């Protein structure tokens, strides 16, 4: 996993620099778009904490329940490749 991530990180500047040398990047309204989304989220989860020093004994437990939590998602995108 680390080797793949390292490969991606090391090759990204090469790909971007080769693209930048071919064309100049233009920052025009045609290249930019924005999105917004609204929604709700419901669910439940449990979190447990065990200590190895205590022989694996459970020392804490949190139970979460959430209903109709408001979700707002926004994005601004700049299209580099036309």
- Residue ranges per domain, the chain? 2-78
Kindly provide the b/e burial profile for residues 29-66, where b requires at least 16 CB atoms within 10 angstroms of the residue's own CB. eeeeeeeeeeeeeeeeeeeeeeeeeeeeeeeeeeeeee
How far is 42 from 45, CA to CA, in rounded Å? 10
pLDDT at position 68? 93
Mean pLDDT calculated for residue range 60-70 = 94
Position 75 pLDDT exceeds 80: yes
- Check residue 79 and report its DSSP letter: -
How far is 46 from 51, CA to CA, in rounded Å? 17
Is this model's pTM higher than 0.75 or not? no
* Residues 1-48 pLDDT 10s: 666 766 666 666 555 555 555 556 666 777 889 999 999 999 999 999
Give the contacts of 59 (CB within 8 A, at least 6 positions apart). Answer: 49, 50, 51
């Amino acid at each position: 996993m680390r080797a793949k991530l390292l490969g991606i990180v090391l090759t990204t500047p090469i790909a971007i620099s080769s693209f930048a040398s071919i064309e100049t990047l233009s920052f025009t309204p045609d290249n930019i778009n924005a999105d917004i989304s609204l929604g709700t989220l419901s669910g439940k989860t449990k979190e447990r904490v065990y200590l190895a020093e205590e022989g694996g004994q459970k020392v804490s437990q949190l139970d979460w329940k959430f209903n109709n939590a408001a979700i707002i998602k926004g994005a601004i995108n700049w299209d580099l490749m036309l």
